[in-house]
Structure 1
Amino acid sequence: MDTPQLLELLADGPVIAAVKDDDGLKRALRSEAPVLFLLYGDILTIRDTVAQVREAGKRVFVHLDLVEGLSTREISVDFIARSTAADGVISTKAALTRRARELGLVAIQRIFLLDSMALKNLERHVSNETADLVEVLPGLMPKIIRQLCRTAGRPIIAGGLISDKEDVTGALGAGAVAVSSTNPAVWSM
């Protein structure tokens, strides 16, 4: 899968199921969400978990920072690329998303917008070389999402604290290409 294919898929189903445990995974596999973010796992189980998602006909992105046993080094990306059928990765670390792009994986850089300084530094941290998409957290900031869509130069995914239809429509209306949520009620919207 490449970035244009992902964006096309998200245009039809812009809600991403973010799963943080086995129960969430079971529910997400039964949901209508076409894309899953794996926010848990370890190096012994990640290959099988990714395979399970792919067998269900869904696309899957592994959050490298949250898989136990992986380091913050580029070899972790190599491991995911060689050992799993993941479509891409998520990380807060630019070096890891950059490596993912080099290996042909879709790279999503997760950014926590805690204050105006983090917002100012966003352009410096995200470039064409580091990520295909940017996930911003929290995703409940339509005004900021609108601004990021104009300035980031990358498609924006809104995540974090998305809990109802109003949150989803607010983020999408502000220009986000998708929203990610760990809330199963949101996955069917």
Structure 2
Amino acid sequence: MQHEQACHRLLDSPVIAAVKDDAGLDAALQSECGAIFLLYGSAAGVCAQVEKVRRAGKLAIVHIDLIDGLSGREAAVDALEVLCHPDGIISTKPVVVRRARHRGLLTVQRAFLLDSLSLENLPAQLGVGKPDFIEVLPGIIPRVIARITACTETPVIAGGLIKYKDEVMAAMGAGAAAVSSSSPAVWAM
């Protein structure tokens, strides 16, 4: 799939299923979500997971940092792309995001906003990786989401701890382009 087309498809379905196990993957495949964030797996099994997602007509976006057997290095991006053909990757590492972007994959820079320092360092990280999307965690802080969306043109995905409709609406109201959640109740919204 073309990079630009994948980015548009992600935005067409503002609720993203984030899965942490096989049961979650099976449920997400049956959901209306157009994209699935794969947050688990191993180097030996990730290709089968990607294939299941793609056969279901959904975007397969792999959190490369969470796949057992893959290092947080650029070579891992190359191997994943050649062997599994995911639509995109998620990483907390700007150099990994940059490599995936150069390989033509949809890219999501995941940022854990633990304190004001992590928020201040975010622009520098984004400058290195130049991701298509920023996923901010936790996604239940509308004030911070609004601040980030005011400072960047990169679409923001709110993720982490989102379980209720009012949290989805607050994140979207603060400027998030989408939300990711591991809660099947959110997927059905």
* CA drift at 1:150: 1.2
Counterpart in the other structure of 1:182: 182
1:38 aligns with 2:38: yes
- Please say if residues 17 and 36 of structure 2, whose CA atoms lie closer than 8 Å, have aligned partners that are also in contact: yes
> Matched residues in 1 for 2:29 and 2:10: separation?
17
TM-score normalized with structure 1 length: 0.95
> Matched residues in 1 for 2:83 and 2:173: separation?
38
* CA drift at 1:35: 0.3
> Matched residues in 1 for 2:105 and 2:18: separation?
18
After superposition, the CA RMSD in angstroms is: 1.4
- Please say if residues 94 and 128 of structure 2, whose CA atoms lie closer than 8 Å, have aligned partners that are also in contact: no
Matched residues, number: 189
* CA drift at 1:83: 0.6
Counterpart in the other structure of 2:64: 64
**Aligned amino acid, residue 159 of structure 2:** G
* CA drift at 1:51: 0.3
- Please say if residues 38 and 62 of structure 1, whose CA atoms lie closer than 8 Å, have aligned partners that are also in contact: yes
Q: 1:140 to 1:19 in 2, by over 3 A?
A: same
Please list every run of 5 or more consecutive structure 1 residues that lacks an aligned counterpart in the other structure.
none
Q: Deviations over 1:60-98 (max 9, x none)?
A: 100011000001111110011101121010000011000
Q: 1:140 to 1:3 in 2, by over 3 A?
A: farther
TM-score normalized with structure 2 length: 0.95
> Matched residues in 1 for 2:2 and 2:171: separation?
23
> Matched residues in 2 for 1:104 and 1:77: separation?
11
> Matched residues in 1 for 2:130 and 2:67: separation?
20
Counterpart in the other structure of 1:54: 54
- Please say if residues 2 and 106 of structure 1, whose CA atoms lie closer than 8 Å, have aligned partners that are also in contact: no
Counterpart in the other structure of 1:122: 122
> Matched residues in 2 for 1:11 and 1:59: separation?
11
**Aligned amino acid, residue 40 of structure 1:** Y
**Aligned amino acid, residue 148 of structure 2:** L
Please list every run of 5 or more consecutive structure 2 residues that lacks an aligned counterpart in the other structure.
none
> Matched residues in 2 for 1:61 and 1:136: separation?
16
* CA drift at 1:153: 3.0
Q: 1:94 to 1:128 in 2, by over 3 A?
A: closer
Counterpart in the other structure of 1:99: 99
Counterpart in the other structure of 1:89: 89
